[in-house]
Chains A and B, each alone.
Chain A
Amino acid sequence: ELKVEQNPLFLSMQEGKNYTIYCNYSTTSDRLYWYRQDPGKSLESLFVLLSNGAVKQEGRLMASLDTKARLSTLHITAAVHDLSATYFCAVAPRFGNEKLTFGTGTRLTIIP
């Protein structure tokens, strides 16, 4: 059974600082996804990571994937208040099997 763990669960950080959210998963996977959810809202796709060493960046967010370590990171650079949200990673086992398992989520609060 595929298990996905995110750390930390809660993160409060000051504007301008850098931080990293970690997503570990338990079995071999082809793909890893990152999503953002604002309070009371739906989910928004951020990144799709498809191969070992994949790195994607959008604004102040950068995601990477290490399939050998079964680890993905979401790095936040020079945080700003509007990045406050809950971030989820999700993992699918292999192409052809689209069963997605989500991490628990990291609630990020950026303090001015």
Chain B
Amino acid sequence: EAQVTQNPRYLITVTGKKLTVTCSQNMNHEYMSWYRQDPGLGLRQIYYSMNVEVTDKGDVPEGYKVSRKEKRNFPLILESPSPNQTSLYFCASSPFPGTYEQYFGPGTRLTVT
């Protein structure tokens, strides 16, 4: 089944403890992206990747890192999480950037205490 998977789906952690949220797609898509969704602030793009080894900042990249070493994986790294990174995170992929619809993962609900 064609899909975007994220792990973990739920995570409660403490300030400063490094964590990684994984994102994987099995559709051979070139484009992948991370978003966060917050009440009152809507959806905001964190980082995106046009292809392997090509990443770029979205609107809210501060406090996050990404890497794209393989086409299928696009992990989101929080080196030192803070409470303001408590949010619902979505990963998405698309066959090519720009002209195609995106397929979204199920979301990761992160709480940083």
Contacts and interface: CB of A to CB of B under 8 A. Distances in A.
- Do A and B actually bind? yes
Interface of A: 30-31, 33, 42-45, 48, 50, 88, 90, 92, 95, 98-105
A44 B98 contact: no
Interface residues of B, number: 25
Contacts of A44: 104
B81 interface: no
Interface of B: 31, 33, 42-45, 48, 50, 56-59, 90, 92, 97-107
Contacts of A103: 42
Given A31-B99, A98-B50, A98-B97, A105 B42 contact: yes
Contact of B98 (A31, A42, A104): A31
A30 B99 CA distance: 10
B42 A48 contact: no
Contact of B44 (A30, A45, A48, A102): A102
A102 B107 contact: no
13 contacts: A31-B99, A42-B90, A42-B104, A42-B105, A43-B90, A43-B92, A45-B103, A98-B33, A98-B48, A98-B97, A99-B56, A100-B45, A105-B43
A71 to B, nearest CB: 19
B104 A99 contact: no
Contact of A45 (B45, B59, B101): B101
